[in-house]
Amino acid sequence: MRFEQREAISEILKVIFQYLDLNTMCVGVYHRETDTFVHLSLDFIAKKSGLNIRRAQRAMSWLYRSGYIVGYRQSFYDIDTEEYYHKPSIRRVNSKLLFDLGIKEFALQRARTRSKRRFQDVLLKSLSSQKQPQFKPTIAVSNINSLIKGVTEAFALPKNPKPLQPTSIYNEKLKKLMSLMPNLTLHEAQRILPSPT
C-alpha cells in the first residue's frame, strides 16, 4: 500500500470517528429538531477530510473491502418523474476496526453505555424543557361515574343471548363475502362457502 493511500485512509477514519454514533455504530449526526439520524454523504466526508472525491472513494472502498465499514445504499425510484433518487449511504463501523486499533471490548461497551446515557439525558432535557399543558378536570366525579356506567351497559353482553341458527350465520358470511368481492355472483359465492349443515 502506498503512502498516499495510507494517508487518505487515516484522514477518512478521523472524520468517521468524529461523526461516529456509538449507540448504533453508524456514521452520522442525530438531528434534534426533526428527530432523525442524518447519514453523511461521501462528498461531506471528503470535504471534511480535505481530500478530493476520488481519493476519498478509493480509501472508502478499501475500508469496505477490509470489512471495517459496512455500507448500505439508499435509493428509490419515483414513478411520477421516472427517475432514481439517491440518499447518502448508511455506513456502519464494524467493532473489528476498533479492536484492531487496540480498543478492548470492555472499554467499547463502557463507552457505548455512556453514550446511551448521554443521549437519554439530552432527550429527557429536551422533553422537560417543552412546557407540558396543564389539564384541569372540568367534569364532576358523578358525571364520570354515570358515563362509565353507561359505557359498560352499552358494551355489555346480553345475559341470555339467543343462539344463532346455522343458516343465519351462513347468510351473514355470504353477505360479508359478497361485500368483499362485489364482482362475484350469488351462485359463485355459495360455491366458495361450505354449506350450513
In this predicted structure, what is the pLDDT of residue 141? Answer: 52
Long-range contacts of 2-5 (CB under 8 A, 24+ apart): 4/55, 5/58, 5/59, 5/62
15 to each of 12, 137, 182, how far by Cα in Å? 5, 54, 60
CA distances for 105 relative to 19, 96, 109, 114, 132, angstroms = 20, 10, 6, 14, 41
Q: Buried b vs exposed e over 7-20: b needs ≥16 C-beta within 10 Å?
A: ebbebbbebbeebb
pLDDT of residue 44: 93
Whether the CB-CB separation of 92 and 23 falls below 8 Å is answered with no
Please determine, looking at this structure, whether the domain spanning 3-126 carries the CATH number 1.10.10.10: yes
The pLDDT of residue 31: 80
Length of the chain: 197
Cα–Cα distance, 70 to 54 (Å, whole number): 19
Question: How far is residue 185's CA from residue 192's CA, in Å, rounded to a whole number?
Answer: 11
In this prediction, residue 182 carries a pLDDT of 73
The residue type found at 56 is A
Mean pLDDT for each 10-residue chunk of the chain (197 residues)? 88 93 86 81 93 94 92 83 84 88 86 83 72 52 60 56 66 78 76 71
- Cα-Cα-Cα-Cα torsion 169, 172, 174, 180, nearest 10 degrees, comes to -140
Q: What is the pLDDT of residue 132?
A: 53
C-alpha distances in angstroms, 190 versus 137, 168, 186? 55, 14, 6
